[in-house]
Every structure is written in structure tokens, then in C-alpha cells.
Amino acid sequence: MRTIRILIADDQPLVRQGLQAVFAPLRDIVVVGEAAHGLDAVEQVRTDAPDVVLMDVNMPKMNGLEATRRICSRAYGGTTPRIVMLTMYDQDEYVFDALRAGASGFLMKDASPRQLADAVREVAEGGALLSSSVTRRLIQEFVRRPALPVSTADELPSLTGREVDVFRLIVQGYGNAEIAERLVLGESTIKSHVQSLYRKLGARDRVQVVIYAYEKGLI
């Protein structure tokens, strides 16, 4: 069984203690560090090599958005951790900036222990974590932007025909199991195509694939 290493970054000691208590009984998730501000989080990612960072948005010295941007702009030991933004509010102004910075999603601090654990597992596997309200606002953000010229699949960087099929279905919001069913392929095959897509597009997860598609005018 794979063990998922996580770092908790939050300026409130009680929040960090509460999150530690949530993960302590779990066999597949281990907390490898805590950070009280963004600068500390950036440094601990370098030294502790977590798979997932639970990142508070508002912290002293450096906020979670800037810390996320710095962490995701470099590779630590050949990999970059997945980042989930923690917030007390469904804050409109942070959503797009956080996703552009490299976050894999948002999670409310009042989420249940089960939701927290499932969220960590989801992003550790390369998934994205967006509530329906966040997804709607992300779409609205793109809609408000000037229309881009429609591109063709030929402009996708070296994707095979099957990878283009998977790309289109990811952008439409389908999960791996649904894509496998639609393309009549095994789910493990789809996972391999998805990982290849991430590598070729320079994307960290499904959110980044969708952003790539919009920015290139492929939707």
C-alpha cells in the first residue's frame, strides 16, 4: 500500500492540530511536517518532499497563493507536490489565481474527516478537487474573457490520436472510468494516456489540462 506524505500549512495552531488528529489513525496518509506561514511551507517542501500540501490561503510572511506559485514553479527531486488550498470561505477572488498558480483544488476547513482523507487521496493520484460552485465560477471566468480563435487538434503538441480523444473527454469533465467506458478501453490504459497528456502538455492535473485547452482556444 502506498503511503501518501502530506504537509499542513496553516497559521492557526489549532487547525494544524485538528488536521493532524484527522490523519493520525490512517495507515495510508502520514503528516511529514507543519508550516505556520508560506515561507516555511516553501522551505519544508524542499526538505520533507511531501506528495500533497494542504495550504491555507491567508498566512503571514507569505500567503498561500504565492507559496503555491513558488512551489509549483520548480521541481523538488524531480516531482512537484499536489497542492490543495484550505479556506474558511468559498472565496471568489482566490479561485482562478490559485488554479493558475498550480493548485489542484479547494477544500473548506469545515470538511468532514472522510472528505479530507478522500481529497488527499484524489489529488495524490493526479485528480482535481473542485466543488460544483468553484467549477461554475471557473467556467464563468473563461466565459468573461475575450473569445480566442478556435484551434485544431493538430496544434496539440505531439499527441497521438487516442490521446487527443482522452484530452477532449477530460476537458468535458469525464473521469477515467467514464472515459474508459466511452472509448471501450481498460481504465489502466486510460490512466497511462492521462499521465502522457500531463507530461506533454506540462500539466499537473486535470484542472491544468482544462486551463490549457481554454488558453489555447481548443474549446
Task: Reply yes or no on whether the pLDDT at 49 is more than 60.
Answer: yes
Please give the model's pTM, rounded to 2 decimal places: 0.70
Lowest mean pLDDT among 122-131, 138-147, 193-202: 138-147
Instruction: Quote the mean pLDDT of the chain.
Output: 80
Task: Reply yes or no on whether the pLDDT at 36 is more than 50.
Answer: yes
Q: C-alpha angle 121/122/125, rounded to 5°? A: 85
Q: Report the C-alpha gap between 81 and 25 in whole angstroms.
A: 23
Instruction: Write down the architecture of domain 4-140 according to CATH.
Output: 3-Layer(aba) Sandwich (3.40)
- Report the percentage of the chain scoring pLDDT > 90: 23
If you classify domain 148-215 with CATH, what class do you get? Answer: mainly alpha
Task: Reply yes or no on whether the pLDDT at 153 is more than 50.
Answer: no
Question: Which residues, at least 6 apart from 44, have a Cβ–Cβ distance to it below 8 Å?
Answer: 7, 9, 33, 34, 35, 50
CA 103 to chain CA centroid, nearest Å? 5
Task: Reply yes or no on whether the pLDDT at 152 is more than 70.
Answer: no
Q: Would you kindly state where each structural domain of the chain is located, as residue ranges?
A: 4-140, 148-215
pLDDT number for residue 146: 56
Please give the single-letter amino acid code of residue 103.
A
**Helix or strand holding residue 114 (H, E):** helix 113-124
Query: Could you report the per-residue pLDDT of 126-142, keeping only the tens digit for each?
Result: 776 665 555 556 656 65
Task: Reply yes or no on whether the pLDDT at 85 is more than 70.
Answer: yes
Domains 4-140 and 148-215 are alike in CATH topology = no
E strands within the chain?
A: 4-9, 29-35, 52-56, 82-87, 105-108
Q: Phi and psi at residue 75, in whole multiples of 5°?
A: -105, 135
